[in-house]
Amino acid sequence: MTRLWGIDAKEAFEAVRSFVENINIRYVGLSREWLLKSFELAKWLNHDVYDCSYLALALMVRAEAMVTTDTDFKTLAPKLNLKYINPVPEDVLKEFSKYRHR
């Protein structure tokens, strides 16, 4: 948020902290089996294992959807029958995309 979009570091920190503090979710971690699955997904999807670990986690907990601002998941999630939900409005995403490759 700070490097890519120039948002003040304190504001970005508080926005993320507030989100984590106020969202009603449970926190889980990958088991060894599902961590290995993330490597299989990376190979199958031809995508980095970091993002694939999130996909593996979603599969592990039998999630129906992924809520993320990472637009890579727009194509990845449906390949695993996961719904992709980006809370950022489409017009804002278009504006952000101008700054993607500085």
pLDDT digits (tens, 9 = 90+) for 46-94: 999 999 999 999 999 999 999 998 889 999 999 999 999 988 888 887 7
Asked, for residue 71, whether it belongs to a domain, the answer is yes
Asked, for residue 22, whether it belongs to a domain, the answer is no
Asked, for residue 13, whether it belongs to a domain, the answer is no
Torsion over CA: 49, 74, 66, 91 (sign): positive
Tell me which of 15-19, 83-87, 96-100 is least confident.
96-100
Amino acid found at 16: V
pLDDT for residue 66: 93
Q: Report the SS3 class of residue 32.
A: helix
Asked, for residue 52, whether it belongs to a domain, the answer is yes
Place of tokens 């290995």: 36
Reported as type and span, the H/E element at residue 54 is helix 49-60
Reported as type and span, the H/E element at residue 69 is none
pTM of the model: 0.67
Asked, for residue 14, whether it belongs to a domain, the answer is no
pLDDT for residue 101: 55
Domain count for the chain: 1
What is the CA angle 57-53-101, rounded to 5?
A: 130
Range of the domain at 56: 28-97
Asked, for residue 6, whether it belongs to a domain, the answer is no
Asked, for residue 7, whether it belongs to a domain, the answer is no
Asked, for residue 102, whether it belongs to a domain, the answer is no
